[in-house]
Each structure stands twice: as C-alpha cells, then as structure tokens.
Amino acid sequence: MSPPEPPSLDPATPSSPADTPGPPPRASRLSGMFDSVRQVGRDVVSVALGRLLESQGKSPLVPPEAGEPNPAAPDAAKRVGVLHAVAQQLRGAADTYVAAKLDEIEARVDEKLETIEARIDRKIVELHQQLVEMRDRELRHRLRLLKVTLIFTALVAVLSLVYKWVSQLWQLP
C-alpha cells in the first residue's frame, strides 16, 4: 500500500473532485457519527498491532542488515501471517460491531418515524373533523338565511297583492 499523493500545489488544476467549483456534496446527518465509528475501529486495530509488535521486541518487518544472515526469516513470515490474521479478525469484528450499531440506529429511527406518522395521522383526522363541523355550521347558517329571505319575499309579495287589490277597489267608483 503506497502513501497517498500530496495535493497539487498548482491552483489551476483541482487535486480532487471536492476541490472543483460547484455546490458542496450533501452530507447526511449521521455521517459524523459514522466517521467517528470508523476512527474508533482504526484506533483499535492500530493499538492491537502496536502491542503485538512491542511484545515481540524488534519488528519482523524490518529487513536485516546486508552483512547479517537472516536466520529468523521463516519465523518472521509466520509472525507477519499471524499479524495479518489478527488484523483481519479485528477488522471483521469492527465491521460486525458497526453493522450491529447501524441496525440498532436504523431500528430507533424507524420507531421514531412511526411515532411521528401516527401523531400526524391523528392530527389530520382531527383537522378533517373540524372542517366537517365548520362546513355543516356554515350550511345551516346559509339555510337559515335562505328561509328568512324566502319568508320576507313571500310577505312582500302578499303585501304587494293586498296593495294592488286595495288600490283597484278605491279606484272603481
């Protein structure tokens, strides 16, 4: 594994897609938490490897000097294999732990969303009932006004007929 390249010092050429102009990439709310979980996993692996290397004294990965014969070459390869196996197990355990925690977080979020949906549904039903009641009150009020208007219209018609009848009676002689 080679070390990453340093970013380009030439301002004319962007060194990564993140350096290109435009809107920044959208980060999710949980990305900070995922980054910290990944960092904890890396720290665990580095501490475990450091302790293994310290307990063995000299690192088997350091090449012997040119004049020295290497009597422990098979032993060093065995140690590297063991370290690799330990690192893979730690990585697998960290991945399993992270996956379990993500599942737990997802379950909590789903539970919260269901609670919020239930509250929203109840509120919608409440608002619908209020609207139905308001509509019914408005209809009753308008019907009352129509009845009153009809009664006054009939009364004016009757008065008009009476006036016409009386005016015809007075003009006959």
27-37 residue pLDDT tens: 566 666 677 77
d(CA 76, CA 63): 10
Domain layout of the chain by residue ranges: 30-62+74-171
> Per the confidence metrics, is the pTM higher than 0.85?
no
Higher pLDDT, 71 or 166: 166
44-83 in b/e form (b: 16+ CB < 10 A) is: ebeeeeeeeeeeeeeebeeeeeeeeeeeeeeebeebeeeb
The pLDDT value given to residue 131: 97
In the chain, pLDDT over 70 holds for what percent of residues? 69
pLDDT digits (tens, 9 = 90+) for 47-101: 777 777 776 655 445 555 555 555 556 777 787 788 888 888 888 888 889 999 9
Q: For tokens 């355990």, what's the residue?
A: 93
d(CA 10, CA 15): 9
Is residue 15 within 8 A of residue 7, CB to CB? The reply is yes
The pLDDT value given to residue 37: 76
Write the secondary structure of the chain as one string of H (helix), E (strand) and C (coil): CCCCCCCCCCCCCCCCHHHCCCCCCCCCCCHHHHHHHHHHHHHHHHHHHHHHHHHCCCCCCCCCCCCCCCCCHHHHHHHHHHHHHHHHHHHHHHHHHHHHHHHHHHHHHHHHHHHHHHHHHHHHHHHHHHHHHHHHHHHHHHHHHHHHHHHHHHHHHHHHHHHHHHHHHHHCC
Is residue 89 within 8 A of residue 45, CB to CB? The reply is no
The pLDDT value given to residue 147: 97
The pLDDT value given to residue 114: 95
The pLDDT value given to residue 94: 86
